[in-house]
Amino acid sequence: MQPNPHTQTLHDTIAKLFAPGKGILAADESVASIHKRFEALSIPLTEENRLAYRSLLIGTPELSNEISGIIYHDETFRQMIDGKTFAEYSREHGIIPGIKVDKGLLDLPNFPGEKLTLGLDGLKERMEEYYALGARFCKWRAVVDVRGSTDEGIEANMRNLALYASIAQSAGLVPMVEPEVLYEGEHLQHETKEVMIRTLTHLFGELALYRVDLTGVILKTSMTLSGKKSGEVLTAQEIAQVTSEVLHGSVPKNIGGVVFLSGGQTPVQASENLSEIMKIGNYGFPMTYSYSRAIQDPVLHFFAANMKAMDEARAILKDRLLMNTLALEGKYTPASETGKSSEVAAVTHSQDL
């Protein structure tokens, strides 16, 4: 096999993304997904408002103190802030731009309720364009339903993730591979654990099969939660313990790194669980967060009512990020909250389901 000429670039990107104390902001909601969030908060569904909201996030002064990378959607990647593309603006402010490259979910024929993530067609060309525009990492999200996904559905999704990852590495982009095990549902934690182990086993099997260099891959994973409607109440310590068992048992130590999605947890839950997971430590690979809703929700709720009050909205964002920085050190508890960014009326809509 020819050595990949981009290996050093991939490793440099990973080192920067996992700079100690920093996380990766997911701001890559599709137009349809962000519209569901806007609609719920009565924000008019316009391109201008999408741009204003994302400019608010990205234009936060000294954002790079807490954020190492931002995942964008294609639309944002081509929009301008202060006369520059979002990618240029991010790079100039010490943040690595990333891009969501999958094309969303298809109902998997013959498997009622299951979804297959698509987007391999033209992927190499799209990635080369994104690289030229400044992207250095990318994301592809598959969804796994604890009680609904079959081995066939999981296998098809993990194969697409591996093919995507191999193409990304050949284009110089670090692939973030995201098999999101959904929090929605009535399943218990032991069921989530079993499905996460099965999913990760398939995923790493496929990555090996397609000769993906794990040292240049980031796994984006769920925490091992019980379903949102299960009625099973777990402490953050219990969630962290089982999550760490899953990661220790199922993630090869030579992976570039692991990041968590928030998946519909509240901002406080996502910080508390992260803190307990980090406290356990000794994973053998770098870890951080890559949240969308658990960071953005308090900001978006404020924005909905005060669209012009940029400074206050940015102070809310900063406050939430500082809580997560504490969590990365294993030092966050709900008592750390200032009250500025902890309360949200409701967690907003997930990315496409």
Q: Do 116 and 156 touch, CB atoms closer than 8 A?
A: yes
Q: Binding to ligand 13P by residue 178, rule CB under 6 A?
A: yes
Looking at beta carbons only, is 26 or 316 nearer to ligand 13P? 26
Q: What minimum distance in Å lies between the beta carbon of 211 and ligand 13P?
A: 26
Burial category of 338 from C-beta neighbours within 10 Å (exposed 0-12, middle 13-18, buried 19 and up): exposed
Q: Binding to ligand 13P by residue 293, rule CB under 6 A?
A: yes
**Can you give the C-alpha Rg of the chain in angstroms?**
19
Stretch of residues binding ligand 13P (CB under 6 A), selected from 119-127, 157-165, 275-283, 287-295: 287-295
Q: Is 223 helix (H, G, I), strand (E, B) or coil?
A: coil
Distance CA 312, CA 65 (A): 18
- Cβ atoms within 10 A of the Cβ of 215, count? 15
Among 261, 278, 300, 316, binds ligand 13P (CB under 6 A): 261
Among 137, 291, 303, 332, binds ligand 13P (CB under 6 A): 291
Looking at beta carbons only, is 6 or 174 nearer to ligand 13P? 174
Q: Which residues are designated catalytic?
A: 178, 220
Q: Binding to ligand 13P by residue 224, rule CB under 6 A?
A: no
**Single-letter residue type at 270:** A
29, two tokens: 């909601």
Site string for ligand 13P, 17-36 (x = CB under 6 A): ---------x----------
Looking at beta carbons only, is 180 or 213 nearer to ligand 13P? 180
Looking at beta carbons only, is 6 or 157 nearer to ligand 13P? 157
Q: Is 258 helix (H, G, I), strand (E, B) or coil?
A: strand
Among 76, 224, 292, 341, binds ligand 13P (CB under 6 A): 292
Q: Binding to ligand 13P by residue 294, rule CB under 6 A?
A: yes
Number of shown-chain residues binding ligand 13P (CB under 6 A): 12
Alpha helices in 106-184 (DSSP H): 123-132, 151-170
Q: Binding to ligand 13P by residue 351, rule CB under 6 A?
A: yes
27, 32, 17: which is closest to 59 by C-alpha?
Answer: 27
- Cβ atoms within 10 A of the Cβ of 63, count? 21
Q: What minimum distance in Å lies between the beta carbon of 296 and ligand 13P?
A: 8
Distance CA 149, CA 143 (A): 9
**Residues that bind ligand 13P in the complex, under the rule CB under 6 A:** 26, 141, 178, 180, 261-263, 291-294, 351
